[in-house]
Chains A and B, each alone.
Chain A
């Protein structure tokens, strides 16, 4: 299986990228809209709490970005630092967990 690990990571990376692309577009558009007239918690919550699509969308966003960022970080560490492959993979897993935990905390806060 380890011989196929790189292949599966590649697949996951590209799949998560395809999921992220439209989500990022929506996020960028939302931010450009939301930042008009200043940001406030109340304005943001009134948007995110009004329809269930927002927490759902951001939930998917969190899962996709946790995977995508972790695999990307792993590649950078393996290629550009002298750290071992196992260390790079461990850091990647930690990053993934960190984003998932913090992310779902945030999704819960805005839902």
Chain B
């Protein structure tokens, strides 16, 4: 396996580690060994050595590699501050937001392994294809269905109502895909709609403004729907926004059961 260590520092951005120079506030005198996935479905782990810094995040590491060591590395990021979810990758086996993962908390013996997210087709290196993930949102009918009635003024939703509390507890999902990457049922059942799509469907079932609650339940009560979940809570334990798709899916199980008994499905 190719092992590239610090070749071809880019001119203008070169930063030599000069032992006579005093370390800046963030630099330490340690280095970090990083194995990064290169290629698509078939590929290999490429090793890099990067300077270690205090409060360094895994995204910092990947960015350093791409800018200073190997410009051909492909990866996604956007906000860098834990809001957009674009930087999700597998770090030492667990799906995480790399901008919010401190190296010191996850490095094992000064080593980190970075791979693209599980359960997604790999495009190149650390970038994955999110198409199926969002197709399943469509298949789960996880979009708002407006009523046909003409409303006088705004719809009124009581924030203290049970439905609104249920919806609010699940509404903050930004579609980063970490729950989907963490879910074993997604690996074992390729048709499984997945925690994010089902979580979103639950918010709509609880939205009193939505015009077709039974339609939402029908979409998730089919094959590979909410009943495929075994409540292992891989999703809940990895969600960076502390959401609980398991709770939402349990709610969908209850509601679809009730709807079945009423003959509404």
Contact = CB atoms under 8 A, between A and B. Distances in A.
B222 A4 contact: yes
Given A11-B257, A11-B260, A6 B223 contact: yes
A65 to B, nearest CB: 20
A37 B257 CA distance: 47
A4 B220 CA distance: 10
Contacts of A4: 221-222, 260, 265
A6 B225 contact: yes
Interface in A51-99: 75, 78-80
A35 interface: no
A6 B228 contact: yes
A78 B221 contact: no
B256 interface: yes
Contacts of B265: 4, 7
Given A7-B260, A11-B257, A11-B260, A79 B223 contact: no
Of listed B224, B227, B230, B253, residue having the most chain A CB within 10 A: B227
A22 interface: no
A80 B185 CA distance: 10
Given A6-B227, A7-B227, A11-B257, A79 B185 contact: yes
A3 B265 CA distance: 10
Contacts of B189: 78-79
A6 B222 contact: yes
Interface of A: 2-11, 75, 78-80
17 contacts: A2-B223, A3-B221, A3-B222, A4-B221, A4-B222, A4-B265, A5-B223, A6-B221, A6-B223, A6-B225, A6-B227, A7-B257, A10-B257, A11-B260, A75-B230, A79-B185, A79-B189
